A and B are shown apart, each in its own frame.
Chain A
Amino acid sequence: MIGGYKAMFSRLVIGFGLAACAVLAQEAEERPEEKIAEKNPFDTAADAVLGRQYFLGHCASCHGSEGEGGRGVNLTTGRYRLGSSDRELFRTIRRGVPGSEMPGIGLSETEVWRVITFVRRIGAQGAEEKAPGDPDAGRAVYDGKGACAQCHWINGRGGVLGPDLGEIGLRRSLKFLRESLTDPDKHIADDYRTYAVATRGGERVRGIKLNEDDYTIQLRDSKENMRSFKKADLKEVKREAASMMPAYRTALSATELENLIAYLSSLRGKAK
């Protein structure tokens, strides 16, 4: 196979800088129109056992070993943004989600159906965790003491430095939300990496990388300004391990933290 591969290759590559990922996404997209069954033909308990094996190999590193979510969407809710019918789930797994980090998965048709059987079971088992905190009190923390809206966006309101949280409850498990609040450096989405540059004129700018090529780099600085620099004018370009987001390990009480998590977990956008 060649890419273009195999070229792989398309605007997605530019977006993510992950040629291989884009290759797979594109390949999946250009498969011949398969006759996808309306109903899952492999939905026995034995299929679910096999489906779990494939899931552990191909899905768990992002979605968690029990589908609880992480870098990938929480699958225990039983609600899926791109559609919940068997055929829609098949398409989502086979083709990936354009504009997201999810690539199309190179499993055979039978293997995809078995993964769906496993995913359905975790979605139907009521395995979804219930947040112990009070979401209304959490909203007050979000808007007040936490000052989260300075950087985050929910339903058209808030800052743009950090990720949109409008569907975060659908996308992230309670554990992931807790970790992101107490240790924000642990999981940083590729689109929100922190970079620091120093100009020859002595200016230092820290921000989120928006784009980069061999001669220039574009950042959104901490005041949300979009900045573009020529590398020839820079003394240093550094990728930092730390997130731009402050840690709330000590800034919030245990109760405030749980309430905030409950609020974030309640943000579910509009699922189809």
Chain B
Amino acid sequence: MKKILASLLLVASGCAAAAEPVTYERLLKADSEPGNWLMYSGNYFSHRFSKLDQITTANVQRLKPKWMVQMRTTHKVETTPLVVDGILYFTSPPNNVIALDAETGRRLWSYNYKVPPKVVVCCGQVNRGLAILGNRLFMGTVDAKLVALDARSGRELWKTEVFDYTQGYGVTTAPMVAKDKVIVGVTGGEYGVRGFIDAYYISTGERAWRFYTVPGPGEPNFGTWEGDSWKTGGSSIWVTGAYDPELNLAYWGTGNPGPDWNGEGRAGDNLYADSLVALDLDSGKLKWHFQFTPHDVHDWDSVQVPVLADMTFRGSRRKLVLFGNRNGFFYVLDRVTGEYLLGKPFVKQTWAKELDAKGRPVRLPNTFPTREGVAVWPGVTGGQNWYSPSFSPLTGLYYVAAQEQGNIFFSADANYKPGLSFTGGGGKPIPGEPGFGAVRAIVPETGEIKWEHRVVSPFWAGVMATAGNLLFGGTQEGHFFALDARTGKHLWNFPTGGFIIANPISYLAGGKQYIAIPAGDVLMAFGLE
């Protein structure tokens, strides 16, 4: 009874604390309240790093499951929870939202979203998470809506249509909030959409601006698309970007041009597909762009989370963006100007001879998909995919959960019909080459791999470094594990029994550090014994 009372009190105190709204000031200083996880990647620089240090390399052996929550879903769980003052908020796919006591896993409220029957989302009806500002939670939906909920009750405040979902548009990314705006992008690069990034006013849900990731007639770089191909150019958005408040720039990675594997009919570089775009937060105007894979025909979306870091690079202090790209190269750019500084493969790659002085790949012959198929590394799902990297300010290392595998890429006809698949080919396994996974720690200044930890299957889960010098990750076989972030030494693992296809977070509840990860259709929280 005492125990129950105690936990009730904690819930109560958590609820009371949650009534403190999450102001923009708090989001700017997210690093100063490590007990909370206030946005998708933990902070605006997208470090996915926890300053909590109760769990360390010395005691991680005592890490045990503390609670589990079953989601009762058949969809893949890719969500990153948020934690605010003892309350954990997460999305259960497709678009339900649940609030829990972060210490006990007990439910406080839930919000059920009705998804229409004929939703079109390539790769599953998934959702990657929420954003919070004030007392409002924000979620994009697979039928391309943006929803604002009251964080205290789960009641709907407003719902805005981002685009007509029957044409292949959806939203799976966790929104970004900053100042008075909430920002999302659309999926649909496999259905001939014309991608965009939108900002909406937090108070009303009205649209503030739209940036098309495929320029229209009269706009700069329109000429990088042949004929009418821009109308179905894809370049969709799958994961949340990063934000530099000082520069007032939001950085978002963009997806593949459409159709994915057949470049006939869309001659040109196909900007701004497979790029990093830096947008002015107030106006949505493009400040600069960097395209990783011009005229992509391998489905190498550049939809990895951009990591911002202020560090000494070749002798001077620079504002950098670090990007482990699906095309197999790790990039360092100047985030003020977009200048290319470094590019180096972090997985096996057989398509580019090198990157030139401006970072543009020099392609090798016979690497484009053919009707018969051609073997290329990395494969369709790339050296990295949508799941998150991590950056530790303590070690100065960039961590990526890499996929080491190739594919046979083939092309096929592609005819556009609204809402139907528009991909023009695909990828097949290379017989006898099942591939493997490897966590790799990259030195940003040189692109060198300091250490690696190999696993039997290519990764589909992100990583998180902590101030306890730990790095957490998860495997296809369901092992949630911890490595020494300095050396890669394997220290701990727990067999969850569910495919891990999400990113870890860390938070405090009742004064104790927790690590949370979805595995299969269960959300799990771990703590010290």
- Residues on A facing B (Cβ under 8 Å): 1-11, 13-14, 17-21, 23-24, 26-27, 30-34, 53-54, 56-58, 103, 105-108, 110-111, 212-215
- Residues on B facing A (Cβ under 8 Å): 76, 78, 118, 120-126, 189-190, 238, 255-256, 260-261, 299, 301, 303, 371-373, 379-381, 385-386, 403, 405, 407, 410, 412-415, 419-421, 423-429, 434-435, 455-458, 460, 475-479, 481, 493, 495, 499, 501
CB atoms of B427 and A24 under 8 A apart: yes
CB atoms of B455 and A4 under 8 A apart: no
CB atoms of A106 and B412 under 8 A apart: yes
What CA separation (Å) do A19 and B461 show in the bound complex? Answer: 13
CB atoms of B405 and A214 under 8 A apart: no
A1, A14, A111, A213: the one contacting B479 at CB < 8 Å is: A213
Please give, as numbers and ranges, the residues of chain B lying within 8 Å of A27 by CB-CB distance: 122-123, 190, 421
B124, B303, B419, B476: the one contacting A14 at CB < 8 Å is: B476
Please give, as numbers and ranges, the residues of chain A lying within 8 Å of B78 by CB-CB distance: 4, 7
CB distance from A38 to the nearest CB of B (A): 19
Please give, as numbers and ranges, the residues of chain A lying within 8 Å of B301 by CB-CB distance: 1-2
CB atoms of B121 and A106 under 8 A apart: no
CB atoms of A1 and B255 under 8 A apart: yes
Q: Select from chain A the residue with minimum beta-carbon distance to B419.
A: A32
What CA separation (Å) do A24 and B123 show in the bound complex? Answer: 9
Please give, as numbers and ranges, the residues of chain B lying within 8 Å of A10 by CB-CB distance: 76, 499
CB atoms of B419 and A3 under 8 A apart: no
CB atoms of A7 and B123 under 8 A apart: yes
CB distance from B174 to the nearest CB of A (A): 14
CB atoms of B407 and A20 under 8 A apart: yes
Q: Select from chain B the residue with minimum beta-carbon distance to A29.
A: B124
What CA separation (Å) do A33 and B120 show in the bound complex? Answer: 10
CB atoms of A31 and B421 under 8 A apart: yes
CB atoms of B381 and A19 under 8 A apart: yes
Given A7-B460, A20-B381, A24-B427, CB of A54 within 8 Å of CB of B371: yes
What CA separation (Å) do A6 and B475 show in the bound complex? Answer: 16
CB atoms of A214 and B475 under 8 A apart: yes
Q: Select from chain B the residue with minimum beta-carbon distance to A60.
A: B372
CB atoms of A2 and B475 under 8 A apart: no
11 additional contacts (CB under 8 A) given A4-B78, A27-B421, A31-B420: A4-B126, A4-B501, A7-B501, A13-B499, A23-B381, A26-B123, A26-B124, A57-B371, A106-B412, A212-B456, A214-B481
B260, B410, B458, B475: the one contacting A58 at CB < 8 Å is: B410
Please give, as numbers and ranges, the residues of chain B lying within 8 Å of A24 by CB-CB distance: 426-428
Given A1-B256, A7-B460, CB of A19 within 8 Å of CB of B499: no
Q: Select from chain B the residue with minimum beta-carbon distance to A56.
A: B372
CB atoms of B425 and A1 under 8 A apart: no
Q: Select from chain A the residue with minimum beta-carbon distance to B407.
A: A20
Please give, as numbers and ranges, the residues of chain A lying within 8 Å of B121 by CB-CB distance: 30
Please give, as numbers and ranges, the residues of chain A lying within 8 Å of B371 by CB-CB distance: 53-54, 57
CB distance from A115 to the nearest CB of B (A): 11
CB distance from B136 to the nearest CB of A (A): 27
Q: Select from chain B the residue with minimum beta-carbon distance to A212.
A: B456
Please give, as numbers and ranges, the residues of chain A lying within 8 Å of B420 by CB-CB distance: 31-32, 34
Please give, as numbers and ranges, the residues of chain B lying within 8 Å of A105 by CB-CB distance: 426
Residue of B121, B427, B481 ringed by the most chain A CB atoms within 10 A: B427
CB distance from A65 to the nearest CB of B (A): 12
CB atoms of B428 and A21 under 8 A apart: yes
Q: Select from chain B the residue with minimum beta-carbon distance to A211.
A: B477
Please give, as numbers and ranges, the residues of chain A lying within 8 Å of B379 by CB-CB distance: 19-20
CB atoms of B456 and A213 under 8 A apart: yes
Across the A-B interface, give the 7 residue pairs with the lowest CB-CB distance, nearest first: A106-B426, A213-B477, A5-B123, A108-B413, A2-B386, A18-B429, A6-B123
Q: Select from chain A the residue with minimum beta-carbon distance to B425.
A: A106
What CA separation (Å) do A2 and B403 show in the bound complex? Answer: 13
Q: Select from chain B the residue with minimum beta-carbon distance to A13.
A: B476
Q: Select from chain B the residue with minimum beta-carbon distance to A30.
A: B124
Given A3-B386, A6-B380, A9-B501, CB of A19 within 8 Å of CB of B123: no
Please give, as numbers and ranges, the residues of chain B lying within 8 Å of A2 by CB-CB distance: 122-123, 238, 255, 301, 303, 385-386
CB distance from B20 to the nearest CB of A (A): 36
What CA separation (Å) do A21 and B435 show in the bound complex? Answer: 12
What CA separation (Å) do A111 and B412 show in the bound complex? Answer: 8
Given A17-B434, A26-B124, CB of A6 within 8 Å of CB of B381: yes
What CA separation (Å) do A95 and B435 show in the bound complex? Answer: 24
CB atoms of A1 and B123 under 8 A apart: yes
Residue of A20, A27, A213 ringed by the most chain B CB atoms within 10 A: A20
CB atoms of B412 and A32 under 8 A apart: no
What CA separation (Å) do A102 and B423 show in the bound complex? Answer: 20
A-B contact pairs, 16 of them (CB 8 A): A1-B260, A2-B385, A3-B123, A4-B126, A7-B76, A7-B385, A8-B460, A9-B123, A13-B476, A19-B435, A19-B476, A26-B124, A31-B420, A54-B371, A107-B412, A212-B477
What CA separation (Å) do A69 and B263 show in the bound complex? Answer: 33
Please give, as numbers and ranges, the residues of chain B lying within 8 Å of A31 by CB-CB distance: 420-421
Q: Select from chain A the residue with minimum beta-carbon distance to B188.
A: A1
CB atoms of B122 and A106 under 8 A apart: no
CB distance from A35 to the nearest CB of B (A): 10
CB distance from A191 to the nearest CB of B (A): 13
CB distance from A227 to the nearest CB of B (A): 18
Please give, as numbers and ranges, the residues of chain A lying within 8 Å of B425 by CB-CB distance: 106
CB distance from B73 to the nearest CB of A (A): 13
Given A1-B123, A53-B371, A213-B479, CB of A21 within 8 Å of CB of B429: yes
